[in-house]
Amino acid sequence: MYSLSLLYLFCVSLFFTSIYGITYTKEEVLKRTDNNVYYCKDNICVSSSEYRTDYETIIIPNNQGRNVTYITDSCSSRDIDIGACNSKECSNDSQCLSNKCIKGHCIYNEDNPVVECQYVRTRHNAYPFGDPKGYKMQCGLPYGYECKSNDGCSSYNCNNGVCGTEDDSGCHSTCGIGQSIVFAYGVVPLVILFILISCCICCSRYHNKNKKEVTIV
């Protein structure tokens, strides 16, 4: 009987894992290089592609293993006051990933900030075709939160004290190809042109030298 109970629990766990995927710690997420967006709570992180039920909510298991649905989007108190907050409505703090619900909307909470992780570009002045070494998984505050530096934002883009969207003006796996194209069609022709000009100058000097020798004779 005891063995059957264990088998039942194993099957149930396997079933929910197949539906919702797996969870990660924040340290494990930081080692990943995929393009999924991750949300973390109490060092339990999930992929939005596996645990998101809709565009505005995410399912994160708690420490007891029970799946809890949270509203991910938050607004500033100013946007809520002027009616500019379009996030999903809440009725209590526990519904918000930020753990703070005011006037029917989840609000930014400095005491319990939302932790979002995404694979972003961290070099804003790289090569024309991007720099593959300038990408990493970045965990921090999501879009709209107040920030002091790029390190504080999941987008690695703190713009005028507010986390902005990620800078993806570069590239990922195609960076090497782009740089090869620049080298092949930009640098190589310049080198060839320099060699040709040098050869022409040398030939011209050699010709002038021979001409002077003939004139003297």
Over residues 60-78, the pLDDT tens digits come to 999 998 999 999 999 999 9
Task: Note whether residue 45 is domain-resident.
Answer: no
Domain count within the chain: 1
Task: Note whether residue 153 is domain-resident.
Answer: yes
Task: Note whether residue 175 is domain-resident.
Answer: yes
Residue pair 9/65 in contact (Cβ under 8 Å)? The answer is no
In whole angstroms, give the CA distance from residue 142 to residue 74.
Answer: 9
Task: Note whether residue 71 is domain-resident.
Answer: no
Q: Tell me which residue range forms the domain holding 170.
A: 114-202
Task: Note whether residue 184 is domain-resident.
Answer: yes
Is residue 20 packed enough to be buried (19+ CB in 10 Å), middle (13-18) or exposed (0-12)? middle
Give the pLDDT of residue 135: 87
Is a pLDDT exceeding 70 seen at residue 180?
no
pTM over cut 0.75: no
Give the pLDDT of residue 61: 94
Task: Write out pLDDT tens, residues 9-55.
Answer: 444 343 444 345 689 999 999 999 998 999 999 999 999 888 877 78
Q: Are strands 44-47 and 38-41 parallel, antiparallel or unpaired?
A: antiparallel
Give the pLDDT of residue 192: 83
Task: Note whether residue 18 is domain-resident.
Answer: no
Task: Note whether residue 134 is domain-resident.
Answer: yes
Is a pLDDT exceeding 50 seen at residue 175?
no
Task: Note whether residue 42 is domain-resident.
Answer: no
Give the pLDDT of residue 59: 94
Q: Which three-class secondary structure state does DSSP give residue 39?
A: strand
Of residues 66 and 209, more confidence is placed in: 66
